[in-house]
């Protein structure tokens, strides 16, 4: 991931793990942890400790294995290079976040590309900010919570996201203009301007009351190109209110979308016949009867003061149940050619997506065509 200005970012492509890198340790699919590689540090898991020094010099994506404490087994992790998608799954949560299924769709609908100038409010945990920073020309992100603002500021600096300007602001009351003297990462000392020319052509609002911010967008959006806005709202009442204001403010092509990602897993399932079911019932009955008989013999032996259980030891064991397609039994590997299989799909029960309604709208302020330009 490149912060789109040529400068090195922690997300730039690299082959080999080096000291000081931000790396993402994949323990399991829902346990991915960010680390800064330090030769003196250890990465601790419940299965054991992995030294960072064992990672240095290995290619990204490598598996690092250790012998599990007290057991003759191995446990392992994978060391991954950060990407916007993996960062979203591993970042420290300060708020609810936008996940990949939503942010990829939103960026596509807002036509985000390296020439885009994007407004984002609020910054929150910076999940979407990282995805924007990889793709767009410049991101203007706003956060009113002072601690979250400071944390995001430090994080973006550590990750080298140089195409992001972060401003501490309540956008609903104070709008989006960035002026000298504001609490912002924009470096006015380096430029001889008093106010930033934002000219945003894409806007993303993840706020509890986007309708208060929408009327304030006019002073910062581009006038001579098509501008897209997306409001991310969890309930339909918020969508209603936003649409009302969008229409009042001259936004067109308003459309609401809900992303419902589902992952389908393809697998084979053993074909179970009626004969299998009947055989299973017969087997249960046979074992039950044998058990009753054995217990009766044992009681009789106790009553007669004979050595108990002798008979049960010598007794021939009932034949082992073959594979039982309705419960426990001998394990059969999926696809074993001795059995019949059918292809089925299974839906993953949980998906990582903060399901919200996405309201899109577009606006062209100046519709004049300059044919002789």
The footprint of ligand SAM (CB under 6 A) covers 95-98, 121-122, 124-128, 142-145, 148, 169-172, 206-208
What's the CA angle centered on 33, arms 98 and 58, to 5 degrees? 125
Taking the complex as a whole, the smallest distance from the CB of residue 165 to ligand SAM amounts, in Å, to 14
Taking the complex as a whole, the smallest distance from the CB of residue 203 to ligand SAM amounts, in Å, to 13
Output Rg (C-alpha) for the chain, integer angstroms.
31
Nearer to ligand SAM, 48 or 126 (CB): 126
Nearer to ligand SAM, 122 or 228 (CB): 122
Nearer to ligand SAM, 324 or 353 (CB): 353
Taking the complex as a whole, the smallest distance from the CB of residue 175 to ligand SAM amounts, in Å, to 10
DSSP string for 262-321: --EEEEEEE---HHHHHHHHHHHHHHHHHHHHHHHHHHHHHHTTPPTTHHHHHSPPPPPP
Taking the complex as a whole, the smallest distance from the CB of residue 158 to ligand SAM amounts, in Å, to 16
Nearer to ligand SAM, 60 or 128 (CB): 128
Q: How far is CA 310 from CA 302, 306, 315, in A?
A: 11, 9, 8
Taking the complex as a whole, the smallest distance from the CB of residue 258 to ligand SAM amounts, in Å, to 17
Instruction: Write a three-state SS string for 121-143.
Output: ECCCCCHHHHHHHHHCCEEEEEE
Is 346 in a helix, a strand, or coil?
strand
The owner of tokens 């001889």 is 192
What are the two backbone dihedrals, phi and then psi, of residue 173, each rounded to the nearest 5 degrees? -105, -30
Binding residues for S-adenosyl-L-methionine: 143, 170, 206
Nearer to ligand SAM, 147 or 189 (CB): 147
Nearer to ligand SAM, 140 or 144 (CB): 144
CA pseudo-torsion sign 366, 370, 371, 373 = negative
Is 2 in a helix, a strand, or coil?
coil
The β-bridge partners of 362 are: 228, 252
Taking the complex as a whole, the smallest distance from the CB of residue 138 to ligand SAM amounts, in Å, to 17
Please report how many Cα atoms fall inside a 13 Å half-sphere around the Cα of residue 283, on the Cβ side. 17
Q: How far is CA 16 from CA 28, 220, 264, in A?
A: 22, 42, 34
Nearer to ligand SAM, 142 or 251 (CB): 142
Taking the complex as a whole, the smallest distance from the CB of residue 207 to ligand SAM amounts, in Å, to 5
Binding residues: 143, 170, 206
């Amino acid at each position: 991931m490149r912060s789109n200005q040529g400068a090195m970012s922690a997300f730039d492509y690299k082959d080999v793990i080096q000291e000081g890198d931000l790396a993402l340790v994949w323990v399991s699919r829902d346990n991915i942890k960010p680390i800064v590689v330090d030769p003196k540090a250890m990465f601790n898991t419940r299965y054991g400790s992995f030294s960072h020094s064992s990672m240095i010099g290995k290619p990204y994506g490598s598996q690092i294995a250790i012998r599990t404490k007290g057991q003759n087994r191995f446990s392992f992790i994978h060391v991954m290079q950060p990407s916007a998608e993996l960062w979203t799954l591993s970042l420290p949560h300060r708020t609810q976040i936008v996940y990949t299924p939503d942010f990829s769709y939103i960026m596509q609908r807002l036509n985000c590309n390296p020439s885009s100038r994007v407004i984002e409010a609020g910054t929150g945990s910076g999940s979407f900010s990282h995805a924007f920073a990889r793709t767009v020309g410049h991101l203007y992100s706003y956060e009113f919570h002072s601690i979250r603002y400071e944390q995001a500021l430090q994080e973006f600096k550590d990750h080298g996201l140089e195409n992001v300007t972060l401003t501490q602001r309540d956008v609903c009351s104070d709008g989006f203009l960035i002026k000298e003297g504001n609490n912002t990462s924009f470096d006015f000392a380096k430029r001889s301007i008093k106010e930033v020319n934002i000219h945003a052509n894409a806007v993303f609002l993840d706020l509890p009351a986007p309708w208060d911010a929408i009327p304030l967008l006019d002073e910062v959006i581009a006038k001579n190109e098509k501008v897209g806005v997306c409001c991310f709202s969890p309930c339909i009442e918020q969508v209603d209110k936003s649409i009302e204001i969008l229409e009042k403010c001259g936004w067109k092509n308003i459309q609401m979308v809900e992303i419902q990602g589902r992952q389908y897993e393809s697998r084979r399932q053993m074909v179970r016949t009626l004969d299998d079911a009947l055989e299973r019932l017969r087997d249960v009955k046979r074992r039950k009867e044998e058990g009753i008989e054995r217990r009766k013999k044992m009681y009789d032996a106790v009553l007669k003061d004979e050595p108990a259980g002798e008979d049960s030891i010598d007794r021939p064991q009932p034949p082992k149940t073959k594979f039982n397609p309705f419960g426990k039994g001998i394990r059969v590997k999926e696809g074993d050619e001795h059995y019949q299989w059918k292809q089925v799909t299974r839906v993953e029960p949980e998906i990582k997506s903060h399901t919200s309604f996405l309201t899109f709208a577009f606006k062209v302020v100046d519709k004049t065509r300059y044919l002789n330009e």
